Amino acid sequence: MDQDKEYFACLALRHTPRLGPKVWKSLFSHYSSAFETVQSAKSWPGLELASRPLARDCAAEVWRTAAEEEYRAARRANMRVITWFDSLYPAALREIDDPPCLLYVSGDVSLLANPGVAVVGARECTAMGLEATRRISARLSRIGITIVSGLALGIDRQAHLGGLSGLGSSIAVLGCGLDVDYPYDNLDVRRALDEKGLVVTEFGPGVTPRAGNFPFRNRIISALSLGVLVAEAAHNSGSLITARLAAEQGREVFALPGPLGQPSFTGCHRLIKQGAALVEDAEDIVHILRFDFARELAHIPDLEPDETVVDGAGGGNASGPGKKGRKRKDSTAGKPERQVHEGQEAGAARPRRRTGPDWRTDASLGVEERQLMEVLDGTDRMHIDTLGRTLGWDSPRVSRVLLVLEVRGIVHQLPGMWYLAREGGSDNLSSDRAGVGEEA
C-alpha cells in the first residue's frame, strides 16, 4: 500500500463538505483502501454507501485545495501519519460510530496497542485530587497499563506524569494540531511524552485549540481506553463529556469521590449516583477491569533483565515499553533475605487463605506465571520485593505477572504489597482483601 496515496486520499475524504466519520466508516467497510474509496466515488450511490451529492462533490475534487494545503503543511513539519488501513491504526477506534480517518502521532506508537485507562478531570483542582490522580496513574502504569489523557493543566497533567513514571507510559490526545504548543505551561510534559510516551491528534497542522474541538478529542480519549476515571470534576466540567462518551462506547466509568460540599467534586458525585464505579485506588480499577487486563496484558512482551522503571514523581525519569531506563535502587540490597513470616505482628493470625483455581492443572498459564507460583506456593505470604529478588526479576515484571495471576483468582493481594497463593478449589474472585490480622 502506498502510504502517501493513502494519506492524501484520507485528506480528500475529510475535506469533502458534509462527508463525515460515519460515512467514511461505511465506505471503508466496502473498499480495501482509502485510495480505492476516493477513486470509486461515482459508485457510492449505486452501492448505497453515500448520497449522490456527496459522491458528486468527492468525484469533482472539491476537496483538492484544502487537502493539498494540509498535505504540504504536514510534510514540511515532518509529521508522522497513521491512516485507517494502516496496521498501526487502533482497532478500538474502528469500533466507534465516528472514528477519525487518520491520526497524526509523535512518540512511541506501540503504546496504541497497550491496554489503557483514561484519567481526566478539572484544570482547577484540589491537592487531594492531584495526589490521588498521580498515585493511581503511577500504580496502573507500573503494571503495564497506559494512561490516556488530554494534556490539560491540573488533573490531566498529573495523570500523564504518573503514567510516564511507569512501564505503561502515557498517551496524550490533543484538541489542536500536533505542531501547536498548547497549553504552554505543559511543554515539559509534552516533551516527555514525545520522548517516552505518545501524542495523538486528528487535527491538521496549525489547527488552534478551539472549544468545539475538545468533544472530538474526548471521544478518542475514551475509545483508546478500557475505562475512564474522572478524578475531579465540577457539575459542568468537560470531563463529564468524556464520561458520557465512554458509557456510549461501552467503556467502564469510574469516579473519585471527594469531600461533601467541595464544588470541584460535584460532577464525580453525580456520576456515582448515575452508576459510575466509586474508586479510591488503582486496585479498585484493576478489579473491575480484571478480565480485560488479563486478556490484554498477555500480549505485552517480556522486559529484558536491565529494563526497569524508576519510581518517583517526575515524568522525566521514566522509561516506556522497550526503552532502557535507569535501574531502580533496591533499598534492601545487601541485607539478609528475610523469612516469609517476618513483619507479621506478634499475636496476629495468619492471613486467611481463600480458594481459587489450581495453578498446577491450569494449562493456560505461561512459563512466567508458573515460575512465580513455584516460589509463592507453600508460603504463608511473600512480599513483592522478596518475590522479585528470589526470581531475579525487576519490579514491573513481577507486578505484571502478579496482576495476571490475581485477576485469574490464583493469587490474593494483602495490604502492603504482600501476596499469597489461593488454595486450589472453587474459583472465588471476591474483591475484598483479607487483612493480616483477620481471623483464620
* Residue 87 lies in domain: 3-102
Residue written as grid cell 509523535: 106
pLDDT tens profile 327-340: 333 333 333 333 33
Check whether 324 has a pLDDT greater than 80. Answer: no
pLDDT tens profile 410-419: 888 887 778 9
Total domain count, the chain: 3
Non-local (6+) Cβ contacts of 25 within 8 A are 94, 97, 98, 99
Q: What share of the chain is helix, strand, coil (3-state, %, to 5)?
A: 45, 10, 45
Put residue 242 in one of left, alpha, beta given phi > 0 → left and psi -120 to 50 → alpha: alpha
pLDDT tens profile 9-61: 999 999 999 999 999 999 999 999 999 999 999 999 999 999 999 999 999 99
Q: How confident is the model at residue 298 (pLDDT cuts 50, 70, 90)?
A: low
Please measure the distance between the N-terminal and C-terminal CA atoms of the chain and give it in whole angstroms: 63
Averaged pLDDT for residues 155-175? 96
112, 238: one domain: yes
90, 120: one domain: no
Cβ–Cβ < 8 Å for 116, 225? yes
Q: How far apart are CA 175 and CA 200, in angstroms?
A: 9
Q: Classify residue 419: in a domain, yes or no.
A: yes
Cell digits of residue 113: 496497542
Check whether 345 has a pLDDT greater than 70. Answer: no
Highest mean pLDDT among 163-167, 171-175, 377-381: 171-175
278, 393: one domain: no
165, 239: one domain: yes
pLDDT at 144 (0 to 100): 84
Cell digits of residue 79: 509529521
Q: Classify residue 337: in a domain, yes or no.
A: no
96, 121: one domain: no
149, 257: one domain: yes
146, 276: one domain: yes
92, 127: one domain: no
Read off the pTM. 0.72
- State how far the alpha carbon of 237 is from the alpha carbons of 162, 217, 220, 229, 269, in Å: 22, 15, 18, 14, 12
Cell digits of residue 141: 502504569
